[in-house]
Each structure stands twice: as C-alpha cells, then as structure tokens.
Structure 1
Amino acid sequence: MEGNHFDIIIIGGSYAGLSAAMALGRSLRNVLIIDNGKPCNEQTPHSHNFLTQDGKTPKEISEIAKAQVRNYHSVEFYDDTAVKVMNIQDSFEVTTKSGQAFRGKKLIVAAGIFDMKPGIPGFSECWGISVLHCPYCHGYEVKYEKTGIIGNGDFAFEFSKMISHWTKDLTLFTNGKSDLDEGQRRKLQENNIQVNENEIESLEHINGKVEAIVFKNGSRSQVKAIYSKVPFVQNLNILEDLGIELAESGHIKTDAFYKTNIYGVYACGDSSSMMRSVANAVGSGNTAGAMVNKELIEEEF
C-alpha cells in the first residue's frame, strides 16, 4: 500500500512485535512497526532459556531479529511512541508522539508492560540484574546461592515454594508485618525457609549486583540474589481508546489465537501473557502474525 496506509500496524518492536512482523512479511503483507526503542529488559545482562540464543544479551538478540525482519521489504519501521488510536471506517488510525498518523486494516499490540518498581533505593538499579522476576529466565545462574524473596501473603508463600527448588539458602523478606497464615509459616519453617519481617531501607549493590538488604532498624542481611514481583501497567496507555478489555491480572485479554475483544486487534508478548520470557514472546508473536494474515485472507477471498 502507498503512503501511510498498511495492512497491519504493530505497536511495539521487541521480540513479540518482531516475530509477528516476520510472519507477516513472509505472508506478503505491508507492515509498519512503531517502536520507541525502550524494551523492559534493557539492563538485563544476559537472556536465557531460548534455544539457539541462550546467554546472549537482549540487545544482541534484538539486533539479529531486526536485521532478519528488514530482509522482508514490505515491513517498515518507525521510531516513535503511539499516543492515540482510533477505529475509522474498518481500519485503525495510530497517531504518534511526533504527530504522524498511520492507517492499518489490522492492529497488533506488542508494546509490553511497565514495571512499577518500589521506591527502595537500589531496587531499580538491580532490577533485571540481581533482582529477578523469573527463575526460568535467571534461576540457573544463581542456583544454590544465598537468595531472598521480597513479598508477602499468599503470593510470597507460593513464590517461596517455587524458588526453593533452585536454592535451599532462602529467606522471605516481607518488608513489614507478615500476612502469612499459621499453616504457611509452618510449611516454610519445615522447609528451612526463614521469614524476616524487618522493614527494608535499601539494597546495597555494586553496579546492580546486590550484596545486602539494609533494614530501617540498622541491621542487614547478605544476599547474592533477590526475587520479587512488582505491579505493572500496560506500556500502551491508549487501549481504552478502542475499548480493549483487560483481564484481572492487568494483561490484555485474548483468546488462544491472541485475538482481543475488538475485531481486528490482536495482542501478544508481555502485553497479554504472564509468561515473561523471550521464547514466549517470540512464539505468541509468530502465532498472532499468522492469525492476522488468515483473518485478512478470509476477508479478501
């Protein structure tokens, strides 16, 4: 198509968006990827658990992916942030921060999520380096190490159960009074998982590698790694423009083929899945791209 009109607009050009774009480029579709170049794993030193790319930096994987996607000349890139989306005459108009407007028959949301990190000094600097969210992504590298979990309540109990598979030197830091019930406390004690209820002052670290948790009472606890789950919001704050429905978890609600509740809009990657991994993002993007192409074929045939 000519000018600012495309078959598909993809908002978000990280792993999920690039994977969808490759599937669509190979399907002879005219595609625009709008991306601002700020991935959520920007400071993660190495990516793991993705076949053929295990141990590479996120940037390395992304650069390889972009180079391969650029081989499909019907795929274009635009460096900007989407700030408005409208459904106009059976197409979607996306306006960017610079004021540029683009039209697409279909829309794929792959913008990911924004982690709302707590205001604990040192936490943000360690996030993705030694403060981790996923044992499948990073647990092997800190196996058997002195490890902490920052969390409370039912989630903290279940997370402690999981992380105890990777290390037996584990402490749960509730950052204040524990919300665990007696049964949960007893089970943690039986598995030699300590519970520390001191309020956290800061994380001591060197270049993002945590060394100790410092508490407001002046005490400190040495750790080599910390696991934590933080609340998040969608990176794309214009989903309500189209009435796209979110699940209770805060993720975009989709069916098994990554269709949202709005016809013609798909969502993949971290935007729509709690499985935050490169492998999952690539897989979901590939499926979303194929399903969008199929929907277009059905309309055109």
Structure 2
Amino acid sequence: MDNEQVDVVIAGGGPGGLNAALVLGRSLKKVLVIDEDRPRNSATLRSHGFLTRDGASPDEIREIAREQLKTYPNVTFIKDVVEDVERKNGLFIVKTKNGKMASGRKMIFATGMKDHLPDIPGLDKVYGKTVFHCPYCDGWERQHDPIALFADGKALLPFVKLIFNWSKDLIVFSNGPAGITAEEKKQLMHYNIQLIETPIANLQSTDGQLENVVLQNGDSIRRTGGFMASTGEQQGSSLPARLGIRLNDQHEYVTGQHGQTEIKDLFIIGDAKNTFTSLVGAASQGYEAAVKINGDFAAENWADGLKTTSH
C-alpha cells in the first residue's frame, strides 16, 4: 500500500466508515479504509435500534459488513491508525502508525469518540452488560428495573427526564457534589427521585450483573441496572483539528451538510461530529457523505471532460 493513490481515504471502520465505503465502492470509486479495530462499542454485548440487526452483537454486525464489502475489489482495508494527514496538490497525503503511506482526492474521518470511564471501582465489570450510556440501545431491557443513574452538573436533569421514560425507580448518584440548582433538586423530589451526593466506593456485581452501589460512608444500595450521562468521551482523532477544523462547546467537530467541513473534500461523520450517533445514525451519515462525494466526483469529471474537449 506504500504511496498508493485512491479516490477516497476513510479513517475509521465503524458503521459510518463502512457504509460510506459500501456506497462509494458501488459507485466505482477506489476506496481505502484504515481502521485500528478497537471500536467504541467493544464492551457492548448486543446492539439495538438497527433495523434487521436488532439484538446482534457489534462484532457480528462488523463481520457481516466486511464480508459484504468483499464483493467490491475496489474497496480495501488495512488494520492501522492514521497518524498524520497533509493536504498537498489537491490530495490528502496519509501516513499511518505502521509507516504506510497513501493519498486520496477526498477523505472521510469516521474516527468517532473514545470513552474514558470515571474511576469507579467495579464499573469496568458492568459497563456494557448492565450499566449503559444509551437508553435507546438498552432501555427496553431495563424497563421498570431499579436503576442507578450516574450524572452530575447540567447533564443531570435532562438525562433523568430521559431515563424516567423506561423506569420510575431511579436513584441518582452524582459521586460528589451534584452541581445542580435548588429548583432542579426540587423537581427530583417532586418525582420521588433520590439524589445521593456521597462519593461511591465501588459497584458490586456478579458476572456483569450490577447488584449494589456501595458508598464511601458504608451504605449499600441495591440497583440492578444503570445508565451514565457521560462516558468521559474524547475525540478519537485530533487530526481534523490539526488540519484546522473547529470544535464546538461539546468538543465535536463542526461540519456543514453531508459532513462536509470547511476544508474542501474533507468530511467528518458519526460520533466525531455528534458525540453519540448510534449505529444506524452513523451508517446513515456514511451513506449521505458518500452520495455527496460521488456527486462531487461526477461534477468534477464532467467539467474536466469539457475542458479537454474545448482544447
């Protein structure tokens, strides 16, 4: 792959990147997908909300996608990480962690976010099994359960309102000062939702099943499921920022329609622009960006042909 030139380089092989590769491959474009194979949803046992794949594991979905893409020899993959990108002479010159080089006329970043979970002992044993981030993915399975909701600050009350749709048996654990207003605390009391600001000592579980939230004062509170307002998410790649793409207040990359950035021919899709997009949302954005990119190619090639003819 050294110094290989393709039509489109895609950094990231999640549902957004893979769906973009599918549409571009079917559009007769030469596509290179570079992915480190460390997906954000690796801790998830089952994915939900993706029509025809509801309940499938993320690994299964990726395997099916990659198998189907084998139909298109113009789409290739390497397991690697894009470490540097330079825009030069109308091309995106890409260098990987393993020292590979490639260039593309257009580029998609589908590098997502990386989670940095809070330092709560025992959380790693239950996250993705009985404690989750996305209620649309996992709320159905936790309906009416005794839920521990981990949140603080401005995100606390909006997240409570959302989770309240699936279970009214909520206790909020802020793991220290909640950082909310007296009016917000009053609203929680109105709905008999207890707010516990005592720091958490650990989460007790058996085989991934949450059983108790143990506080530093020794109290042990039974809960069988949980949701986290934040997973400490951070951008999976800083390269778009180094290229000049702005970040908003939520540390998401700013794009226009179809994922097009302020840099011509550079697109960003999925969690990198939305923090949490969902599998089907990311796949949809990959489709949309790919259609826009192929349309741009078509217009550019048509214009180039006219120039050649005129001479």
- TM bracket (short chain): over 0.9
Code of the residue aligned with 1:205 in structure 2: it is S
CA shift for structure 1 position 239: 2.2
Alignment of 1:99-248 (within 5 A): 99-228=99-228, 229-248=230-249
Per-residue CA deviation, residues 13-46 of structure 1 (Å, 9 max, x unaligned), is 1111000000100110000000111101112000
Partner of 1:256: 257
Question: Could you tell me whether the CA contact under 8 Å between 2:6 and 2:105 is conserved in 1?
Answer: yes
Q: Which amino acid aligns with 1:15?
A: P
Q: Which runs of 5+ in 2 are unaligned?
A: 303-311
Check whether the contact 2:2–2:101 (CA below 8 A) recurs between aligned residues.
no
**Mapped partners of 1:10, 1:209: distance in 2:** 37
1:48-73 deviation line (CA, Å, top 9, x unaligned): 01100000101111111111112111
Return the offset for 1:163. Answer: 0.7
Match for 1:76: what amino acid?
A: T
In 1, are the aligned partners of 2:3 and 2:103 still within 8 Å (CA)? Answer: no
1: CA distance, partners of 2:26 / 2:105: 18
What's the % identity of the aligned pairs? 34
Task: Supply the AA of the counterpart residue of 2:235.
Answer: Q
Between 207-216 and 87-96, the greater mean CA deviation after superposition: 207-216
SS in structure 2 at match of 1:41:
helix
Aligned partners of 2:92, 2:207: CA distance in 1, in Å? Answer: 43
Q: Give the distance between the partners of 2:213 and 2:24, measured in 1 at CA.
A: 47
Provide the TM-score with structure 1 as the length reference.
0.96
Q: Is the 8 A contact 1:116 1:230 kept in 2?
A: yes
Paired residues of 1:86 and 1:241 also in contact (CA < 8 A):
no
Rounded to whole Å, the distance in 1 between the matches of 2:286 and 2:168 is 36
CA displacement at 1:2 relative to structure 2: 10
- 1:207 and 1:105 map into 2 onto residues whose CA distance is 48
Query: Structure 1 stretch 44-53 or stretch 186-195: which is displaced more?
Result: 186-195
Helix, strand or coil for the counterpart of 2:203?
strand
Aligned partner of residue 183 in structure 1, secondary structure: helix
Deviates more, 1:232-241 or 1:98-107: 232-241
Instruction: Map residues 58-69 of structure 1 onto 2, 5 A cutoff.
Output: 58-69=58-69
Deviations along 1:216-240, one digit per CA (max 9) or x if unpaired, are: 1111111111111122211113223
Shift of residue 113 of structure 1? 0.6
Secondary structure, in 3 states, of the residue corresponding to 2:40? coil
Q: CA deviation at 1:298?
A: 1.9
Shift of 1:125: 3.0
AA matched with 2:231 = V
User: Structure 1 residue 155: deviation in Å?
Assistant: 1.1
Aligned to 2:267: 266
**1:42 match: secondary structure:** helix
C-alpha distance in structure 2 between counterparts of 1:77 and 1:179, whole Å: 46
Segments of 5+ residues of structure 1 without an aligned counterpart are none
State whether structure 2 residue 91 is matched by structure 1 residue 91: yes
In structure 1, distance between residues paired with 2:247 and 2:188: 34
After alignment, is 25-34 or 187-196 more displaced?
187-196
Separation in structure 2 between the aligned mates of residue 198 and residue 220 of structure 1, nearest angstrom: 12
Residue of structure 2 in register with 1:288 after alignment: 289
Higher mean displacement: 157-166 or 120-129 = 120-129
Q: Give the secondary structure class of the aligned counterpart of 2:241.
A: helix
Whichever residue aligns with residue 261 of structure 1, its letter is E
Instruction: Give the TM-score, by structure 2 length.
Output: 0.93
When the two structures are aligned, how many residues end up with a matched partner?
Answer: 301
The change in CA–CA distance for 1:118 and 1:2 in structure 2 (over 3 A counts) is: closer
Distance apart, 1:3 and its partner CA: 6.1
> Are residues 241 and 154 of structure 1, via their aligned partners in 2, closer, same or farther at CA, if it must alter by over 3 Å?
closer
CA distance in 1, matches of 2:170, 2:242: 45
CA contact (8 A) 2:112 2:275 kept: no
Within the alignment, does 1:49 sit opposite 2:42 as a pair?
no
